[in-house]
Amino acid sequence: MLSAIIMSADERHEYFMRLAPYFKASLGIFGIGLIVGLIMVARFPELAEHFQASLAGFVKIFHGMPKLQLAAAIFFNNAIKTVAAMILGCLFGVVPGFLLFANGAALGLVFSLSTQTRGLWISLLSILPHGVLELPAVFFGTSIGLMLGTHAIKSLYRKNETTLGAEMVRSLRFFCTVIAPLLLVAAFVEAFLTAELVSPK
C-alpha cells in the first residue's frame, strides 16, 4: 500500500531527471521576479511601503501562535499553495509561471526593505535557514506544474505517450515522497529556529 504512494529511489531519480529542465525554467522565472522586486523598491518606494504594510498585516495573523501550531500553519499554507501550483499547471503552465514571478518579486521587495531596516546579516538569517529547504520544495512543485502544462499542450497535438491523469498521479506521489517532507522540516525550522536567530537578545 505504501509503495503506491511513496516513490522508490529509482523512481525518484528518473523523475528528477525529467524535472531538470523545468526546474531550471522555474529558477529563471523566479530570478526575473526577484530582480523586478529589487528594482521596484528603488524606483517605486511608495509601492514598496504599501506592500510592506500589507505584509505586516499578514504576519500579525501568525503572531503569538504557539510554535507547534505556527509550524503546522506554515506547513499547510505552503503545501496547499504548492499542490495548487502543480495541479493548476495543467492550464498550460500559466499559474505556476505567475506564482514563480510573483513570489520572486515579493522576496526581492522583502529582502531589500529588510536590509534597509535591519541590516544585511539579520535579513539573511531570516531567509536562509528555512529558504534552503522551502524554496527547493516550491521549485519542485512549480517545475511539476510547468511540466504538466507542457504535457497538456502536447496533448492537444496527441504527442504524449502517457495520459495527463497518469502524470498527475505520478506528481502527487513525488509530492508525498519529496516535497511534503521538505516543507514539513522547513516549517519547523521557520517556527522554532528562525525566530530565535533574528529576535533581539
pLDDT at residue 162, rounded to an integer:
82
Q: Is 3 domain-assigned?
A: no
pLDDT at residue 30, rounded to an integer:
96
pLDDT at residue 76, rounded to an integer:
95
Q: Is 158 domain-assigned?
A: yes
Q: Rounded distance, CA 113 to CA 149, Å? A: 34
The owner of cell 529582502 is 111
pTM of the model: 0.87
pLDDT at residue 97, rounded to an integer:
95
Contact 178, 12 (CB under 8 A): yes
Q: Is 155 domain-assigned?
A: yes
Q: Is 1 domain-assigned?
A: no
- What is the domain count for the chain? 1
Alpha-carbon Rg for the chain in angstroms: 18
Identify which of 195, 189, 178, 191 has the alpha carbon closest to the alpha carbon of residue 82: 178
pLDDT at residue 198, rounded to an integer:
53
pLDDT at residue 150, rounded to an integer:
92
Mean pLDDT by 10 residues, the chain (201 residues): 83 95 97 92 75 64 80 93 94 93 89 80 74 91 95 82 87 96 92 65 48
Q: Is 67 domain-assigned?
A: yes
Domain range enclosing 18: 11-196
Q: Is 148 domain-assigned?
A: yes
Neighbouring CB atoms inside 10 A of 182's CB total 20
Helices (H), the chain: 9-43, 45-62, 67-87, 94-118, 120-156, 164-174, 180-188, 195-198
Q: Rounded distance, CA 72 to CA 83, Å? A: 16
**Per-residue pLDDT tens digits for 80-121:** 999 999 999 999 899 999 999 999 998 888 888 878 877 777
pLDDT at residue 199, rounded to an integer:
54
45-62 and 94-118 are packed helices; what angle lies between their axes, rounded to 10 degrees? Answer: 100
pLDDT at residue 7, rounded to an integer:
93
pLDDT at residue 176, rounded to an integer:
95
Q: Is 4 domain-assigned?
A: no
Q: Is 131 domain-assigned?
A: yes
